[in-house]
Amino acid sequence: MGIQGTEVAKESSDIIILDDNFATLVRVVRWGRSVYANIQKFIQFQLTVNVAALIINVVSAVSSGDVPLNAVQLLWVNLIMDTLGALALATEPPNNHLMQRPPVGRREPLITNIMWRNLLIMAFYQVAILLTLTFKGVSLLRLEHDNPAHAEILKNTFIFNTFVLLQVFSEFNARKPDELNIFKGIAGNKLFIAIIAITVVLQVLIIEFLGKFTTTVRLSWQLWLVSIGLAFISWPLALVGKLIPVPDRPFLEMFSCCCPGKKEGLMMGRKAVV
């Protein structure tokens, strides 16, 4: 106790309750779990973007010698992922659902099986969509009769726009990695809503008015609707993916079975913390 406790008791204690109110511990645990959960949300979102962007550019560069996303576009994607994404997901307020989770061990992996499941589903969908557009975009968008140079830049603009919108919708999925209702409590995080709105507005400005800077061209409203539709599919896809059960045993621990030393170290981490 910070008020009634003796100095000897304070010096030998691991935790001192400054206001002598045990309810403070509940708030501390809730906020601690909230910070931990928000870090996990951001990691899931960031890895999804990185995996998708890396595979798309590498496969395109190896197969055709060209990449659909140029340096300026990737800088904008990184801004969404690192700065705006971190602000949006790291400011999620604590909720009572966090207190229903079991304690996390000190040596438990930061990337859980649920995160791996969500990450792989979203990354696979994004890669499949964008690679299809990369190699078949001209025919799918019915640009065969256009000027080849204009058709190529229009296709790459559509890929860039779809990729950014996929990340915007993916931020909603990252809010609730283990819950079906991704909009639960969203009204309480006005910063998240503001960042999403700013991202969408800036994306519209980039596509429609900053083409010389980003090497893009204006898109018709039909192509905008197609981009939004492809991004929207990530919501029901994530919902279905969350119905897929995952084992309680961490994936990394499964792979460590052949390494007794690592397995022993993981088992020592079962001591629970906040």
Is 266 inside a domain boundary?
no
Q: Could you give the number of structural domains in the chain? A: 1
Q: Which domain holds residue 168?
A: 37-98+106-249
Alpha carbons within 13 A on the beta-carbon side of 166: 28
11 domain residue, yes or no = no
| Alpha carbon distance 268, 264 (integer Å) | 6
In a domain, 210, yes or no: yes
Whether residue 236 lies inside any domain: the answer is yes
Q: Rounded to 5 degrees, what are φ and ψ at 184?
A: -65, 125
Residue 79 in domain: yes
**CA-to-CA distance for 1 and 9, rounded, in angstroms?**
8
Q: Which residues sit opposite 273 in a β-bridge?
A: 104
Q: Is 259 within a domain?
A: no
In a domain, 173, yes or no: yes
Which of 121, 116, 124 is CA-nearest to residue 44? 116
Q: CATH number, domain at 81? A: 1.20.1110.10
Strand partners, 105: 272
Tens digits of per-residue pLDDT, 104-130?
Answer: 877 788 888 899 999 999 999 999 999
Residue 270 counted as domain residue: no
Q: Which of 95-104, 164-173, 243-252 has the highest mean pLDDT?
A: 164-173
Read off the pLDDT of residues 218-266 as tens digits, 9 standing for 90 and up. Answer: 999 999 999 999 999 999 999 999 999 988 777 666 666 555 554 444 4
